[in-house]
Chain A
């Protein structure tokens, strides 16, 4: 703003200097007076293109959020069950002012709950990646394995994640590993399938290069198959982490302990609806951040090349 004001002052100075010159030239060449002298842009004219650009980018999302909050406020005002935005905001400020308190196993700060959930997702998803990506690679590369595994994958993939929970509880006899198991089994499919599709779609041209050079299987894998498949693998990873984060809330509601899902269930039992709303926002924001982080990684490691 300071710079703009300065520029405005400079402009005025320039105009003042230019005016006498214009007057003298008009006197000597009267025909030119018919043309209006070029006016310097007013400060508003100078700012408005920038402002318009900013509004174009920020305006629509801002309007959407305002509309959302407006509808929320209206709905909450029409009944007394749902807390409004202001009440929720006040509660959120209180919750986040001390995110890492510990008052016994069932009463811990929101920070601990988020971290615990992230840890479960990390372990379950990490194991799914360790198993799913190599498995997808083999399935995409070996026709026999593809034919062998595709019926099993088609059968198990549509199963609701929570249907796996009893199996986990039965096998592991504890809530925490069961929740991790649910994350594992529900987030493995997108990685297997995307990796397999990616490997099977490696352009024939690249494989011909491998054949002509007579590359060793190791070189074919590291120099051709992996780089060519990387974009597909990362898409699978992104879908998987989305699924994992979706599932963790539901799984924790059932298993208990510390975690954002359990927190929601606990606050429901306390009838603290503000906290449930806060949890919904927290889950949404963390999910968004996870997705954006992976998109960022994907952009970093993949070469933008036309395939």
Chain B
């Protein structure tokens, strides 16, 4: 398997007022191009911390994170993040929120000979990204004028519009109701089928992890958490949630994750 994104022996130690706190230790994970990997674990196990390390929002204190054979130091638009709380800028319209990202990525020439795109090209990109998530009609609206599900879709459009090497999602549907969540999961699968993006997603939802992932990395409880076990989800795509509900392979994957979370890693007082 060709490694595209690799987390090598990474660790994270925070220096708090009450001394050192080792959140993560010896985390190893290699992800291939186009692969969808979920990180699942009990709350507080450090899965979001691990995602932020990959994003470069915080730097690993041990080990290394490599993306496309280059060490991750600091955040950058090649690793787009879909935040849990969408993090749209409330003073910009949906279009402007996405355009800000597009302009940053495509509005500059770089040393490798990439030419800066024209405004018209970038506007077309922005519209295309919003059309991809079905929000063409809401382009001119401000984030506080649209629903939570729509905001999250704008967040996804913003990330996808940057054409990132890796798409990082931190519980992207965690704040949504079950019906909206299911619809967005289906939409996301269709979009990823088109874009072939490499995705790392943090979730606490077992069904979501099995439905969307190629592999599920399950994390042990902190402190000093690490990846305890990896489940491969060998289900062909496109996947259909109704058909899968009775599929024995789906049920087996689900059972494995549940067993890990509720037998091997059950919190004594959760």
CB–CB A214/B76 < 8 A: yes
Contacts of B51-96 to chain A: CB distance below 8 A: 55-57, 74-77, 79-81, 83, 85, 87, 89-92
CB–CB B75/A214 < 8 A: yes
Query: Hey, which chain A residues are within 8 Å of B55, CB to CB?
Result: 212
Is A205 in contact with chain B by the CB < 8 A criterion? yes
What distance in Å separates the Cβ of B150 from its nearest Cβ neighbour in chain A?
16
CB–CB A215/B142 < 8 A: no
CB–CB B76/A224 < 8 A: no
CB–CB B100/A213 < 8 A: yes
CB–CB B91/A208 < 8 A: no
- Taking a contact as CB atoms closer than 8 A, the residue among A208, A224, A227, A306 that contacts B57 in the complex is A208
- Taking a contact as CB atoms closer than 8 A, the residue among B76, B80, B85, B90 that contacts A303 in the complex is B90
Cα A304 to Cα B162 with chains together (Å): 28
Query: Hey, which chain B residues are within 8 Å of A219, CB to CB?
Result: 100, 104
Is B143 in contact with chain A by the CB < 8 A criterion? yes
- Taking a contact as CB atoms closer than 8 A, the residue among B80, B83, B89 that contacts A223 in the complex is B89
- Taking a contact as CB atoms closer than 8 A, the residue among B56, B83, B91 that contacts A227 in the complex is B91
Cα A213 to Cα B99 with chains together (Å): 11
What distance in Å separates the Cβ of B60 from its nearest Cβ neighbour in chain A?
16
Main secondary structure of the interface of A (DSSP, over half): helix
A184-223 Cβ-contact flags toward B at 8 Å (1 or 0): 0000000000000000000001101101111100010001
Query: Hey, which chain B residues are within 8 Å of A214, CB to CB?
Result: 75-77, 104
Contacts of B21-68 to chain A: CB distance below 8 A: 55-57
Q: Bin chain B's interface residue count.
A: 20 to 34
Is A305 in contact with chain B by the CB < 8 A criterion? yes
Which has the most chain B C-beta neighbours within 10 Å: A206, A211, A212? A212
Query: With A212-B79, A305-B143 as given contacts, are A223 and B87 in contact (CB-CB < 8 Å)?
Result: no
Q: Bin chain A's interface residue count.
A: 10 to 19
Contacts of A85-140 to chain B: CB distance below 8 A: none
Is B218 in contact with chain A by the CB < 8 A criterion? no
Main secondary structure of the interface of B (DSSP, over half): loop
CB–CB A205/B85 < 8 A: yes
CB–CB A208/B92 < 8 A: no
CB–CB A205/B87 < 8 A: yes
Cα A305 to Cα B76 with chains together (Å): 27
Cα A212 to Cα B54 with chains together (Å): 11
- Taking a contact as CB atoms closer than 8 A, the residue among A205, A228, A303, A305 that contacts B83 in the complex is A205
Query: Hey, which chain A residues are within 8 Å of B142, CB to CB?
Result: 303, 305
Query: Hey, which chain B residues are within 8 Å of A228, CB to CB?
Result: 91
Chain A minimum-CB-distance residue to B85: A205
What distance in Å separates the Cβ of B170 from its nearest Cβ neighbour in chain A?
10
A222-240 Cβ-contact flags toward B at 8 Å (1 or 0): 0110011000000000000
Cα A220 to Cα B76 with chains together (Å): 14
Cα A212 to Cα B88 with chains together (Å): 13
Cα A65 to Cα B76 with chains together (Å): 62
Is B121 in contact with chain A by the CB < 8 A criterion? no
Chain B minimum-CB-distance residue to A205: B87
- Taking a contact as CB atoms closer than 8 A, the residue among B76, B89, B91, B143 that contacts A209 in the complex is B89
CB–CB B80/A206 < 8 A: no
Query: With A305-B144, A306-B144 as given contacts, are A212 and B89 in contact (CB-CB < 8 Å)?
Result: no
Cα A219 to Cα B87 with chains together (Å): 17
Cα A228 to Cα B90 with chains together (Å): 9
Chain B minimum-CB-distance residue to A230: B91
Cα A208 to Cα B57 with chains together (Å): 7
Is B101 in contact with chain A by the CB < 8 A criterion? yes
Cα A108 to Cα B87 with chains together (Å): 58
18 A/B residue pairs, CB under 8 Å, sorted by A: A205-B83, A208-B81, A209-B83, A209-B87, A209-B89, A211-B74, A212-B55, A212-B57, A212-B79, A213-B101, A214-B76, A214-B77, A214-B104, A215-B104, A227-B89, A227-B91, A228-B91, A305-B144
Given contacts A211-B56, A303-B90, 4 further A-B contacts (CB under 8 A): A206-B87, A206-B89, A303-B142, A305-B91
Interface residue ranges, A against B (CB under 8 Å): 205-206, 208-209, 211-215, 219, 223-224, 227-228, 303-306
Would you list the 7 A-B pairs with minimal beta carbon distance, nearest first? A305-B90, A227-B91, A211-B75, A205-B87, A213-B104, A212-B75, A303-B91
